[in-house]
Chains A and B, each alone.
Chain A
Amino acid sequence: MEFKLEAHRIVSISLGKIYSARGQRGGLKLHKNLLVSLVLRSARQVYLSEPGCPPEPACGPPEEEPPPPGTAAWPAGEETTIPPPPQDEAARGGPRVPGAECQGPRPRRCCCGCSCCCAAAAGGEENRPDCATATGVAATLPPPHCPRKRSAGERVQAGSPVKKPRREVEEEPPPPPPDEQEDMETGNVASLISIFGSSFSGLLSKEPKGRRRPPLDGGESVAATSAEAAAEPGQICCDEPVLRTLNPWSTAIVAF
């Protein structure tokens, strides 16, 4: 559990670094940002493969059985080792199965999504250690809960910065509700991505693919579409098909 917090902390720190690197004198330091993105990726992998992490509701719990804690050699202390890169990462990325609604191509979101579902399922209590069991419950829940919760926050932010990236810098992501810690991570990342949004046409256009579905909020989906459209006009690098196969985080950071 501490390792998950540790990984989460490292992810937040890393994102903060990338964020603040934007304005620094002398321009982007490629080397440092590359290293930060590597740490970010490692931490996220750990974070997501940690036993406590609830798998995505729509993905069918059994397949999500994360490596039992015993196999990962976690030394005590600040440092954490990374368990063998979970094959289930790939598995997760693959056939998402039925509730493809819950963001098929983006396994990374699962934690956040699930906490919503779990929270909803468990009636607002967060029950992380039991999430594995709760997913069974969550799976039966109407998925629209998670995408909506998450994407609402994202879209609002995706709308603005394409037009005014600078202003976005000052904007704070809405403070997450206390019982949804994972959402904070997404919130930060989402705002980061939207801040960089104009540079990541591929990323933004990738997301709404999963988001723009069942109808949630008419107004919001319009915002997303315009953001995506505005972001398209050839900014940096990203080919959609290539992107879809890549880790979206590393895409965000490395492309930057």
Chain B
Amino acid sequence: ADIISTVEFNHTGELLATGDKGGRVVIFQREQESKNQPHRRGEYNVYSTFQSHEPEFDYLKSLEIEEKINKIRWLPQQNAAYFLLSTNDKTVKLWKVSERDKRPEGYNLKDEDGRLRDPSMITVLRVPVLRPMDLMVEATPRRVFANAHTYHINSISVNSDYETYMSADDLRINLWNFEITNQSFNIVDIKPANMEELTEVITAAEFHPHHCNTFVYSSSKGTIRLCDMRTAALCDRHAKFFEEPEDPSNRSFFSEIISSISDVKFSHSGRYIMTRDYLTVKVWDLNMENRPIETYQVHDYLRSKLCSLYENDCIFDKFECVWNGSDSVIMTGSYNNFFRMFDRNTKRDVTLEASRENSKPRAVLKPRKVCVGGKRRKDEISVDSLDFSKKILHTAWHPSENIIAVAATNNLYIFQDKVN
């Protein structure tokens, strides 16, 4: 099993897709809940596995292009088939996942081995009939959107018009139509004329869930820009600019790195955006640009360890963040296979761990606590014992129920609400 690099539920929550470093996509499907066993809520089983991207070689630049899947985004379902977008650093692909449970039988043009029979030997016309067969799920690439990005793609986002989507790399954002693969519109370009003047890059981008003309993108400087595509073809000028003034008392060598935003997500309502930087999660109201309305400390105890984290590269980890279906709880990952949830209404938070030892099926997850100094209590774990190689970067929340998917390196954990 390879390291999981992205996790995403589809719009109904029936399917859960994961992408990994090896370019594979694995889709899980939720079992239909059966009347016989009402206490056994639908579990997720493997539905389809396919190789989405392969490693490529750019001969012109003598560079290898990684096959790692950076993001998967589902399209809303419009017919019996499922569609998803998956992307690596350079190429976005549209995959169709469909079921086949019937097979045509009765061809008389070929013999048993599949070899064509001699036409002169065929004397009868026979029309094949469809017979049931074991369910087969097949994934076929329907579109390949290539050669539009010089830099590494970090985000894709499907527009609410379901006809277009955008792909963002470090310096540019392109708008695509699903039907057209040989063209895309460049809607944001922050590349300076002189690359030596480069001071910030795009780190994430997302369309507004309801307004098809609006999108946001975050930067490595900790800012978010909201753009309206109606104002101009090239949205280099933002409609809104979200930035929180820096706290001068926290200034250090690494201030810039830790303020870089690794993920930005609209709330389901479209009213708020959530951003994740290295130490915090922030919730912003679209109507207030000068500071976030809520800030949650994910693992502030790391603030004094930034130099070591810089040395071992952990400070560059890009954590994602997610909303629950009702936008009342937000979740993000941390180290030591811990992940955190913050309830926006009660202001309570919890730290949980995704590990085999703690995760017997049906076991209730026990809240964890990191001890920040002073005496360590029995169940607490001290900061120095944290395993920084076990990081939870990718999580997903079912769109309507309390089911979460947590990717811990090469393991996927799915947790559900306790059933009463």
Interface string of B248-274 (1 = CB under 8 A from A): 000111101100100000000000000
With A27-B63, A27-B64, A30-B151 as given contacts, are A79 and B195 in contact (CB-CB < 8 Å)? no
B307 with A34: CB separation less than 8 A: no
A26 with B307: CB separation less than 8 A: no
Interface residues of B in 195-221 (CB under 8 A from A): 195-201, 203, 220
Interface residue total, chain A, C-beta cutoff 8 A: 34
A79 with B252: CB separation less than 8 A: yes
CA distance A42 to B257 in the complex (A): 12
Shortest Cβ gap from B30 to chain A (Å)? 34
With A35-B257, A242-B194 as given contacts, are A78 and B304 in contact (CB-CB < 8 Å)? yes
Which stretch of B308-316, B366-374, B394-402 is in the interface?
A: B308-316
Chain B residues in 8 Å Cβ range of A82? 251-253
Interface string of A1-40 (1 = CB under 8 A from B): 0000011001001000100000001110111101100110
Shortest Cβ gap from A9 to chain B (Å)? 8
A78 with B306: CB separation less than 8 A: yes
Can you name the residue of chain A whose Cβ is closest to the Cβ of B63?
A27
How many interface contacts (CB-CB < 8 Å) are there between A and B? 95
Chain B residues in 8 Å Cβ range of A81? 251-252
A26 with B64: CB separation less than 8 A: yes
Query: Is there a chain B Cβ closer than 8 Å to A121's Cβ?
Result: no
Interface residues of A in 80-122 (CB under 8 A from B): 80-82
Query: Is there a chain B Cβ closer than 8 Å to A222's Cβ?
Result: no
Interface residues of B in 50-71 (CB under 8 A from A): 58, 61, 63-66, 68
Can you name the residue of chain A whose Cβ is closest to the Cβ of B308?
A78
Query: Is there a chain B Cβ closer than 8 Å to A139's Cβ?
Result: no
Query: Is there a chain A Cβ closer than 8 Å to B376's Cβ?
Result: no
With A26-B65, A27-B64, A29-B152 as given contacts, are A254 and B307 in contact (CB-CB < 8 Å)? no
Shortest Cβ gap from A146 to chain B (Å)? 27
Shortest Cβ gap from B319 to chain A (Å)? 14
Chain B residues in 8 Å Cβ range of A27? 58, 61, 63-65, 89, 152
B304 with A42: CB separation less than 8 A: no
Shortest Cβ gap from A225 to chain B (Å)? 25
Query: Is there a chain B Cβ closer than 8 Å to A238's Cβ?
Result: yes
Query: Is there a chain B Cβ closer than 8 Å to A246's Cβ?
Result: yes
Query: Is there a chain A Cβ closer than 8 Å to B170's Cβ?
Result: yes
CA distance A236 to B203 in the complex (A): 25
Shortest Cβ gap from A251 to chain B (Å)? 6
Which of B89, B257, B304 contacts A39, CB < 8 Å?
A: B257
Interface string of A37-78 (1 = CB under 8 A from B): 011001100100000000000000000000000000000011
B260 with A25: CB separation less than 8 A: no
A25 with B254: CB separation less than 8 A: no
Query: Is there a chain B Cβ closer than 8 Å to A250's Cβ?
Result: yes
Shortest Cβ gap from A206 to chain B (Å)? 13
Query: Is there a chain A Cβ closer than 8 Å to B305's Cβ?
Result: yes
Shortest Cβ gap from A35 to chain B (Å)? 5
Can you name the residue of chain A whose Cβ is closest to the Cβ of B262?
A31
Query: Is there a chain B Cβ closer than 8 Å to A255's Cβ?
Result: yes
Shortest Cβ gap from A246 to chain B (Å)? 6
Chain A residues in 8 Å Cβ range of B194? 237, 242
Most buried by B among A30, A250, A254: A30
CA distance A115 to B376 in the complex (A): 47
Shortest Cβ gap from B372 to chain A (Å)? 14
With A81-B252, A237-B195, A254-B196 as given contacts, are A30 and B308 in contact (CB-CB < 8 Å)? no
Interface residues of A in 216-256 (CB under 8 A from B): 236-238, 242, 246, 250-251, 254-255
Can you name the residue of chain B whose Cβ is closest to the Cβ of A43?
B253
A39 with B195: CB separation less than 8 A: no
Which of A7, A31, A236 contacts B220, CB < 8 Å?
A: A31
Which of B152, B170, B198, B254 contacts A26, CB < 8 Å?
A: B152
Since A13-B310, A27-B58 are in contact, a sample of 10 more A-B pairs with Cβ atoms closer than 8 Å, ordered by chain A residue number, is: A13-B311, A26-B89, A27-B64, A27-B65, A30-B201, A31-B154, A34-B201, A79-B304, A81-B251, A82-B253
On A, residues with C-beta under 8 Å from B are: 6-7, 10, 13, 17, 25-27, 29-32, 34-35, 38-39, 42-43, 46, 77-82, 236-238, 242, 246, 250-251, 254-255
On B, residues with C-beta under 8 Å from A are: 58, 61, 63-66, 68, 89, 151-152, 154, 170-171, 194-201, 203, 220, 251-254, 256-257, 260, 303-308, 310-311, 313, 316
17 contacts between A and B (CB under 8 A): A6-B307, A10-B253, A25-B64, A26-B65, A26-B68, A34-B198, A35-B316, A38-B257, A78-B304, A78-B307, A79-B252, A79-B306, A82-B252, A242-B194, A250-B196, A251-B196, A255-B195
Leading 5 A-B pairs by shortest Cβ distance: A26-B66, A27-B63, A78-B307, A30-B170, A79-B252
